[in-house]
Each structure stands twice: as structure tokens, then as C-alpha cells.
Amino acid sequence: MLNLLELEQLVAFADQGTLSKTAEVLHLSQPTITRTMQHLEEEFGVSLFSRSKNKIQLNETGKKAVEYARGLLADAQEAVVQVQAFDKRLHTITVQSCAPAPLWFLLPVLSSEFPGQTISSTLSEETEILQKVASGECALGILPWPVELKGVSCVPLLEEKLSVCVPEEHHLASREHLTFEELNGFNCLLLSQIGFWDKLCREKMPASRFLVQTDEFEFQELVRQSALFCFTTDLTKDIRSSKGLLARRKVIPITAPEANVTYHLLFTNPVYRTVAETCRARR
Amino acid sequence: MLNLLELEQLVAFADQGTLSKTAEVLHLSQPTITRTMQHLEEEFGVSLFSRSKNKIQLNETGKKAVEYARGLLADAQEAVVQVQAFDKRLHTITVQSCAPAPLWFLLPVLSSEFPGQTISSTLSEETEILQKVASGECALGILPWPVELKGVSCVPLLEEKLSVCVPEEHHLASREHLTFEELNGFNCLLLSQIGFWDKLCREKMPASRFLVQTDEFEFQELVRQSALFCFTTDLTKDIRSSKGLLARRKVIPITAPEANVTYHLLFTNPVYRTVAETCRARR
DNA sequence: TATTATTACGTTAGGCGTAAAGATT
DNA sequence: AATCTTTACGCCTAACGTAATAATA
């Protein structure tokens, strides 16, 4: 039976050209390499080298053996990687969401209901989410609308309502409701990593410019220091509303069906059916 | 690094179901199998088994690992086989001929000019011969006519002239020459393994029946005891002509271009160019 | 003379088997 | 009681390194 460690020495020799160099790069002694090459010839049952007194090199058969050795070594490495990846998939719950807010509720529920499992979440495009849930590549998906697809279950998860934060001194601050059409043309501050909201705003307010901030702190500073519009939702229960961040701003709901979304949980494995209910209960 | 011997134990366990049975079929002790399975988990870096106090079985990841192990073991075995086959091809000269006679001259020449090389010869169809020489699958080919094909060299080798052996009492025995048309309808004895001659006779003498004999001795006995026609050629220098075999028969040449063939030697490797000349010299 | 492959030899570490323990059916 | 897995322990092989040899550039 072939030995992968010996094959590794063989390809190292093919790369290095001499037994000494091979021994050096593998941190072994020359005699060890000599012995291994002799042993490989026994294992293959054929001569692999042409030897002079002071020189040894691969013959044609030896070169062919090296080809196969490279393949076997690569396959062996790949097998380990693949088995580890398989095991990881088996022990991780992968979640792909169209927006961050539902994850704030879903992830704690998953952690407590599936202890020991690793939970991995990503923000993605809606089409990608559906495809990955359907293919089984990802266990859970969150979309801002219901879908019907055989093999994929879909249950309502949470609602989220978008509001705009208008500076108090702005003439729109007195309004009780606003529409995208009325906001269109005003420039807005946006946080990055807000999923499909970004796309929705650009679509509904094509005349506006959006200043996307990657850093949370810088975003807050700009909200305080500027008169630019920004957004919030009813699921956002951070400091903004309570403390100084929105102190001098009016939070005005946006009346548009697209601004009031109902997130839906997608899954193929029925064990996840209950987590949607648990999420709604914790809301 | 994975160890193929350990992987072999893993697939044996997958096949047997218990460590004890595995140890038994592999002629090892149970503790050895236990240790190997533990070591395999270290090598893969993941858990491969679900263990109770008295029972161990593959988990999902383990089954996946077994899949890869089977693949790697098969590939390793295949690699050895392929390398040996490559080495054999490297040290054997493969000859495919359309008829046996030219081999009687060619094979001794090859043996003396390429000592140490194994020589393997087969009788084949003309199309197969050309294809195998062109593909490099076979080093030398012998056809009864010249061919022109890029990459394939073709040189004249030997001539062979077909004669018919007619019983002395037969009315055709007085003729100096005969044609296939005149022979057509008479039943003939044939030896098997005569290559393209068999096909030629059937084509030129469609009204005749051919009694093909596998055994040389039985063939000779039938020649002596029957009045059936048979064939010989000028390259056939066995006992027939001298001794009793053809004592009471007349050997009459067949006048037809197809009955006077010039064998041609086909090859891709130029080292074989000289052997044709040597064959002609020895004729 | 420096480099390289191979052989000889002593040492060590890893792998195997025996024995025993713990647990289940 | 029988079967199975795992641990503990001792032995032995086989693989390694050092040193020496031989040959080449």
C-alpha cells in the first residue's frame, strides 16, 4: 500500500532535483530520503530512477509516478478540507437575511434553542437568499415578503415600519406622515449594512443622494451636526430615540406599503418552524 | 497527513459495523482498531463517530469521510496499476500484423536489435492496425499495402506470394497458374490465425466453403487424407514442400495482384526504420 | 575539495498485542 | 454469560539520524 508521506518525499525530490536538497527542505537526513526512494520503487514494483554513482534522477516511469503522487496528495488534502467543511455545515445554522433588524430577534432565539450549534448570519440579496435556502446551502432565510416555492416553507416573522427623522426646524417637521414622493430630492444619511432598505430608498427616491456611512459613530455625529434626513424604524430600540441623537429631530412615519414590511422566515428543515413563533412572542 | 492504511481500516469498519469484526477481517487486534479510529479523528480534525459505552458507529461526518477514503484508496491502487502499465509500455515493443509470415522475420530482428525489451505481437484487422500505430498504442504495424498518413512512416518489408496446393490427380493439377475465379467453388482447408489471407480467400472465392482448422496437426492430417485444396506461400519454409505433406500435391501459383502482397512496416518512432532493411537482408 | 548518493550501525519512537476493566444486551 | 469498546502496559519492529564510504565535478 502506498504511503502518502513517502509520496510527499517523492514530489519534493521531483521539485528539488537532488536527495540532499530534498532532505533539507523536508528537515530530514539524506539517508532517509535514499531509503524512501528505494522503498517507493518496491511499492510501485518498478524502477523509478536512473542512478549513477553520484547522481540519481527520475526516469520516465518515475515522472509518471510523480504525476500520480501529486494528484493523490492533492486529493488527500482536499478530502480533509471537505470533511471538515461538511462537519462545519452540520453544526452551523446559516442564516441569510435581507435586513439586520430581524436578526436581532432571531439570532438570540436560535442560540438558546440550538445550543452548541454555531450560528452564521449574512446580509444578502433577496434572490440569493431564496436560492440558497432552496438549495439547502443555507438553513434559514429572511425576506421582506412571502414566497411560495415547493420544498421551502415560509412563515411570517416580524413587522418593521420605516420612519424618517427630520430636523425640527425643517418645514416638513410639522407633518404627521410623509410619502417617498415628498422626500424625493432631499439628501439623506444612511448606515451601511442595512440590507434591502438601501435598495428600496434609492428606488423610491431617485432624485436624492445617499451619504452612506460605514462607521456607526461617524454616522451619529453627522446626524447631530447636520440637517440631513436620516431614517429609523420601530424595531430600532437603540439610544437614538431616548438620548440626544434624535433630540432635535422629529420622527415621522412613512406611509407607503413598501415602508411597512412583514419579514418572512424561509426554511426547508421543519425544526425551524417554531423559532418564528418564539421571535414574535419575544417582540 | 492522512495514512492510507488507516483509511483502509476506516472503510473496513464502515463495511463491518463493529470494531471487533473489523479487527478480525484485517487480522489485527481490537485495541489497534480503536486507536486507529481515534487517530483518524485527530487527522481529520473532526468527530467521526458517535460513541456509547458499548457501541461505536459512524456519524454523518464519518460517513462522508468513508466516501472520501474509498475514493482515495481506489485512486492509490489505480496509480500503482497505471505506473506499472506505463513502465511496461516503455519496455515492450508492441507489433500488430495483418498476417503471421512477416512476424517470422521481424520478431527475431527486434529481439536482437532491442535486447531487454519485451516484444508482444498480435494479428489484427487492417483498420485496427493503422489506428493503433497512429495513436501510439502500438509501436509497429504490418499491412499488406502501403499507407500514407501524417505522423506514420511506412516502408516496404517483404513480399509474399500465395499458391494453391492441388491434389495430383485433380484435373487442375496440370496447370502452371490459376486464378481465384478458377478456384472459386472448390472447398478448401484453411489454418486459423492466418490474418488477412482468410478474409481475402472468402472475398475472392465466395462460392467455396472453407474448413478452418485450429490445430496444426489436424490440419496436416486432413491435407494428407483428403482431396481438398489448401494454400501455401513462398514465405512458408516448413516441412510441407520438402516432406510428405505436399508429396502428392502440385503447388500452383495464383495469378492475381491480391495474391502477391508486399507487406509494409508502419511506425511512428524513427528508431524502427532500420529493422525493415534488416528483415529484407535476412530474407 | 566540496557535493552527492549510499551503506552501516546504534538509537528511539510509534505501533502492535496481551491483559484487564467497564458496560451493555 | 457473552459481546463490545476502551485503557494500561510491555514489547518489538521499523524508521530515523549519525558516521563513514565511495564517487564525481
Q: In angstroms, rounded to a whole number, what is the distance separating the alpha carbons of residues B251 and B231?
A: 8
The pLDDT assigned to B193 comes to: 94
User: Considering only the top CATH level, what class is A4-88?
Assistant: mainly alpha
- A84·B2 Cβ contact <8 A: no
Residue with cell 499488406: B144
Q: In angstroms, rounded to a whole number, what is the distance separating the alpha carbons of residues A272 and A274?
A: 6
Q: In sequence order, which residues have a C-beta less than 8 Å from that of residue A25 and are 6 or more positions away?
A: A12, A16
First-to-last C-alpha distance (Å) of chain A: 62
Contacts of the segment B54-59: beta carbons below 8 A, 24+ positions apart = B56/B18, B56/B19, B57/B17, B58/B13, B58/B14
Question: How do beta strands A153-167 and A260-267 pair?
Answer: antiparallel
pLDDT tens for chain A, residues 1 to 283: 999 999 999 999 999 999 999 999 999 999 999 999 999 999 999 999 999 888 999 999 999 999 999 999 999 999 999 999 999 888 999 999 999 999 999 999 999 999 889 999 999 999 999 999 999 889 999 999 999 999 999 999 999 999 999 999 999 999 999 999 999 999 999 999 999 999 999 999 999 999 999 998 899 889 989 999 999 999 987 555 556 677 789 999 999 999 999 999 999 999 999 999 999 998 7
- A83·B44 Cβ contact <8 A: yes
Which residues of chain A form beta strands (DSSP E)? 49-51, 56-58, 92-97, 118-123, 140-143, 153-167, 188-191, 210-213, 230-233, 249-253, 260-267
Could you give the 3-state DSSP secondary structure of residue B72?
Answer: helix
Q: In angstroms, rounded to a whole number, what is the distance separating the alpha carbons of residues A268 and B191?
A: 72
Distance from CA of B89 to the nearest CA of A (A): 10
The C-alpha cell at A92 is 452551523
The pLDDT assigned to A115 comes to: 87
Q: Tell which strand C nucleotides have any atom below 7 Å from a protein Cβ.
A: 3-9, 15-20, 22-25
Q: Does residue A89 or residue B67 have the better pLDDT? A: B67
Q: Which residues of B touch A (CB under 8 A)?
A: 1-5, 8, 43-47, 60-61, 64-65, 68-69, 71-72, 75-76, 79-80, 82-84, 86-87, 90
CA of B263: how far to CAs of B143, B161, B199, in Å? 6, 11, 16
CB proximity B56–strand D (7 Å threshold) = yes
Could you give the 3-state DSSP secondary structure of residue A171?
Answer: helix
B17 closest-nt by C1' vs CA: D4
How far: A71 CA to C12 C1' (Å)?
33
Q: From the C1' of C22, which residue's alpha carbon is nearest? A: B53
Q: Average per-residue pLDDT in chain B?
A: 92
Annotate A171-194 with b (16+ C-beta within 10 A) or e (fewer).
Answer: eeeeeeebebebbeebebbbbeeb
- A46·B5 Cβ contact <8 A: no
Q: Residue A64 is nearest to which of B45, B47, B86, comparing CB atoms? A: B86
A36 closest-nt by C1' vs CA: D15
CB proximity B34–strand D (7 Å threshold) = yes
Other C-beta atoms lying within 10 Å of the C-beta of residue B129: 24
Which residues of chain B form beta strands (DSSP E)? 49-51, 56-58, 92-97, 118-123, 140-143, 153-167, 188-191, 210-213, 230-233, 249-253, 260-267
CB proximity B20–strand D (7 Å threshold) = yes
A3 closest-nt by C1' vs CA: D15
Footprint of strand C on the protein (CB under 7 A): A 18-21, 30-31, 34-35, 37-38, 49, 51, 54-56; B 5, 27-32, 35-36, 39, 52-55
Structural contact between residues B31 and B24, judged by C-beta atoms closer than 8 angstroms? no
Other C-beta atoms lying within 10 Å of the C-beta of residue B282: 11
Q: In angstroms, rounded to a whole number, what is the distance separating the alpha carbons of residues A16 and A25?
A: 9
Contacts of B2 in chain A (CB under 8 A): 4, 76, 79-80
- A79·B60 Cβ contact <8 A: no
The C-alpha cell at B198 is 482468410
Structural contact between residues A263 and A142, judged by C-beta atoms closer than 8 angstroms? yes
Could you give the 3-state DSSP secondary structure of residue A251?
Answer: strand
Q: Is the pLDDT of residue B246 over 90?
A: no
**Phi/psi at B143 (5° precision):** -120, 155
What are the residue boundaries of the structural domains of chain B, listed by start? 4-88, 158-260
Q: Does residue B263 or residue A221 have the better pLDDT? A: B263
Domain A158-260, CATH: 3.40.190.10
**Phi/psi at A162 (5° precision):** -85, 135
DSSP A96-165: EESSSHHHHHHHHHHHHHSTT-EEEEEE--HHHHHHHHHHTSSSEEEESS---BTTBEEEEEEEEEEEEE
Contacts of B69 in chain A (CB under 8 A): 79
Choose, out of B11, B41, B77, B80, the residue to mutate when testing the contact with A (most A CBs < 10 Å).
Answer: B80
Q: Which residue of A has its CA nearest to B46?
A: A84
Cα angle for residues A235, A236, A239 (degrees, 5° grid): 150
The pLDDT assigned to B267 comes to: 96
The pLDDT assigned to B203 comes to: 95
